[in-house]
Structure 1
Amino acid sequence: MARAPRAPRAARVRRVSRVPRALRSPWLWIGVLSAVVVGMLAVGGVFVSHWANAVTARPPGVGTEFIAPTLSKAQRALDSDLTPEQQEAAEYLAAQPSTYWITPEQDPIGQAGATVGALAKQARSEGKALSVAVYGLPGRDCGNHSAGGLEPDDYKTWVAEIGAALDNARDVQKIVVLEPDSLALAPECGNLDERVTQLRGAVAALQSVDTWIYLDGGHSSWLAPERMAQLISAVDVADSVRGFATNVSNFQSLTDEFAYAHAVASHLDGMHAVIDTSRNGTASAGAEWCNPAGQTVGETAGEYGDDVVDTNLWIKPPGESDGPCNGGPAAGKWWPEGAVALTAAAR
């Protein structure tokens, strides 16, 4: 590549006028500089804080430690009437680093921010990262087992509250899995345009220092990588999110999901991924997604990653039902028998 031409040498140096004696004192300039710094801190304190945190912000990776939320349903189950085996399973799962799901049913408007604040407080005290899934879109799950969500205006209010709480925890590393199934399910539901608009608004509301957002990325037994990449691209927020999350609430193998994440990312310049390994220890469910029998917990969070996959996470908390199928209760409810089955080989 050709070098840029060198600037021509000046023909002669112009004489600089002499500085008045009153302005030569170093103490004068120290005072001026101090006043400028104080003024910047007073007027631009928020900017300085953001800049300082931006310097230290780091994406999740292999070795990142995540909290085991004290607000988890596994933890809450310990106070219920359980058999010894169910108690052992709940204790095991309550101790595992996992993602907390913020839903309007559990954490409505007026409470969601306080929940994020409590989780951030725990992460701060333990010196660990925080992982949350935001799950409250209007018409969520297209009326299937996880149906629900908020009205459009309420959804904007809700995510704004969550975003403000995330922004108040700038000293905590935060991972946000945004609306699982929202994109992969959109073609089937016929609401892609609506979803794209909603997700763009949510991303804008949730952005903060050291907050890493991952959109829905489906999984390896669902949509083709090219199609999944098209859906992610449609949201058009590549500069605002870290990437996408795969295998959320599913059971596909870690090997298949790594290959899938790489295939999807090859169509998305610079995007990264996280993989849900909470229930893929056996990975024999195939296309069955609703409480399939014979499955086990997978690799714990922060164990695997590469240049595309930031790391693996426990996104779907094991022990929470997929829905009223195969003996399980309603979606999201604690299922003691399911927890026992999933952890039989791990306890």
Structure 2
Amino acid sequence: MAPAAALATVVGSFLLATPASATSHEPAPDRLFVNVAGTAGSAAAKLTGQARSDALTIAGQAYGTWITTGDASKAAANAKAVVKAARKDHSVPLLVLYNIPFRDCAQYSAGGATSTAEYEAWIDAIAKAIGNEKAIVALEPDSLGIIPFNTDINGNAEWCKPSDADPATAVSDRYEQLTHAVKALKAHKNTKVYLDGTHSGWLGVGDITDRLMKADVAEADGFFLNASNYESQFRITEYSRWISQCLDLSTRVSWWQPAWCASQYYPATASDESTWHLTDEKYAADYASAGIAPDPSVMKKSIIDTSRNGQGSWTPPAGNGWPDPQVWCNPPDRGLGVLPTLSTGDSLIDGFVWIKVPGESDGQCDRGTGSAVDPARGVADPAAGAWFADMARELVANAAQPIPAPTCTVKASTTQLRGAFVSAITVKNTGATAVPAWRLQYALDGTQRITGLRGGAAITQHGQYVTARGVGRDTTIRPGHSVTFGYVGVGTAPTTALYLLDGKACAA
């Protein structure tokens, strides 16, 4: 195949790309969607060297697609693009919806809808966009952990008191918003919905159980835990099981109250994991007293964010002198956790997922000092959601389990023409086995439109998402061999960094 420069001379002979026929394949139950148009891949396209490699390592995994824009039509379009791309990939996407009024109580990730009516219309638009496609939804991180003007299960007033929220209705508004969202999303049978369950370093089991019940967890599939946090696998899975049991007792036993549920705080001691068996034993005794046994087939399940908990939570250095160590905010020397999967081997856990995008900053942490510099790192952290290359390096280097090495490479060269571009892509199989009926997925980074192709592949485009498939004698890539194809498009030359060969990331 000719290189990109030569391809510019044969644009006239390109064949128009034609859409692939619709498929009726069901998404595999144990495979999560890797979003080639996700933020980690976009970050990689702007980086070089080790920082680019780290971003691509993360980009090749399945992490959540956050829907945060307050524009309902744009939010719906984003959700629709992802679920349709996942359907064509025969996988299941994870959507993180994050637009509830007073989200994050006007802290690092402030924003959200301005009223209950606006939020419910936003949810309705997204639910309609998802339709009957398969999707997993993590509904509003922190929405049950941080409730404006809330009083906890023990009668203690909580800290979140935004000046423009109505103290008389703020709590009931939050539950109305979430119950509406659960109902709207669950109206579509293929959408699985999980509510905010905080994490094991935060609310006690009884408190979060009470909030989940008020938010209509009975109609949801369950709850998500550890979103954007660092609690260790042991602590968070124990906490998960206890919430499932507390919900079970509170719904199946007429006289039971969530406030009676054992937790990480009692009879266990939260800071001493050797005592956590005491809480396990208390649940066993409570079930015996109630005359029932746990039944996973009817109990609420969890999904757990393992994106950054590979090294557990952070202990600040002794004598740091910081007014607020902010252990949740860009802690140093953390690691990627269990790789995303819907096959957990645990009857009460539906998935280990990456809700947070590893490598994205938690915010401009100051540890309570009021400084522009993070004293734990000696630099100013990027704004919340911006790429943090130093942290990405730590997460990859300290990963809890090996990340599979790529078994393919992609070399792309592009020539910009007047109002158009020509690209040539070479895919090499560096693995030990042949890749039959190969499929290469990637995303354009704007509104580019592919208008023609030549040799080696058939290309389909759906919005940003592009799939190239082998044709003729080039349908199989043998070990050590390559295929090359080219195409022409309208618009500015793309800066694509992430390519997936049969769903697995290639080295670039």
TM range (shorter): 0.7 to 0.9
> Within 5 Å, which residues of 2 pair with 1:285-304?
285=314, 288-302=327-341, 304=344
Higher helix share: 1
Using the TM superposition, give the Cα deviation of residue 224 of structure 1 relative to its aligned residue in structure 2, in angstroms: 0.7
The secondary structure found in structure 2 opposite 1:125 is helix
- Going from structure 1 to structure 2, the CA distance change for 1:179 and 1:57 (only over 3 Å counts) comes to farther
The secondary structure found in structure 2 opposite 1:267 is helix
TM-score, L = length of structure 1: 0.77
- Going from structure 1 to structure 2, the CA distance change for 1:101 and 1:128 (only over 3 Å counts) comes to same
Matched, 1:210 2:263: no
User: 1:297–1:343: 8 Å Cα contact kept in structure 2?
Assistant: yes
CA distance in 1, matches of 2:384, 2:123: 22
Using the TM superposition, give the Cα deviation of residue 57 of structure 1 relative to its aligned residue in structure 2, in angstroms: 9.3
Query: Which letter does structure 1 place at the counterpart of 2:122?
Result: W
TM-score, L = length of structure 2: 0.53
Higher strand share: 2
Which residue is 1:309 aligned to? Answer: 349
User: 2:45–2:52: 8 Å Cα contact kept in structure 1?
Assistant: no
Which residue is 2:485 aligned to? Answer: none
Query: Which letter does structure 1 place at the counterpart of 2:239?
Result: Y
> Within 5 Å, which residues of 2 pair with 1:250-329?
250-269=229-248, 270-285=299-314, 288-302=327-341, 304-325=344-365, 326=374, 327-329=380-382
Which residue is 2:33 aligned to? Answer: 67
User: 1:305–1:311: 8 Å Cα contact kept in structure 2?
Assistant: no
Where structure 2 has 5 or more consecutive residues not aligned to the other structure, the ranges are 1-23, 151-157, 162-169, 249-298, 316-325, 366-373, 375-379, 404-508
CA distance in 2, matches of 1:126, 1:320: 25
Matched, 1:200 2:179: yes
User: 2:334–2:398: 8 Å Cα contact kept in structure 1?
Assistant: no
CA distance in 2, matches of 1:291, 1:305: 31
The secondary structure found in structure 2 opposite 1:299 is coil
- Going from structure 1 to structure 2, the CA distance change for 1:237 and 1:222 (only over 3 Å counts) comes to closer
Query: Which letter does structure 2 place at the counterpart of 1:330?
Result: A
Matched, 1:138 2:117: no
User: 1:318–1:342: 8 Å Cα contact kept in structure 2?
Assistant: yes
Query: Which letter does structure 2 place at the counterpart of 1:72?
Result: G
CA distance in 2, matches of 1:309, 1:184: 20
Structure 1 moving runs of 4+ over 3 Å: none
CA distance in 2, matches of 1:292, 1:335: 12
Partner deviation per Cα, 1:72-108 (whole Å, 9 max, x = no partner)? 111111221x230110011111100111111026xx3
> Within 5 Å, which residues of 2 pair with 1:1-347?
64-80=30-46, 82-104=47-69, 108-152=71-115, 153-167=117-131, 170=132, 172-186=133-147, 187=150, 188=158, 189=160, 191-207=170-186, 208-238=188-218, 240-269=219-248, 270-285=299-314, 288-302=327-341, 304-325=344-365, 326=374, 327-346=380-399
User: 1:328–1:338: 8 Å Cα contact kept in structure 2?
Assistant: no
User: 1:99–1:316: 8 Å Cα contact kept in structure 2?
Assistant: yes
CA distance in 2, matches of 1:293, 1:335: 12
Query: Which letter does structure 2 place at the counterpart of 1:174?
Result: A
User: 2:311–2:398: 8 Å Cα contact kept in structure 1?
Assistant: no
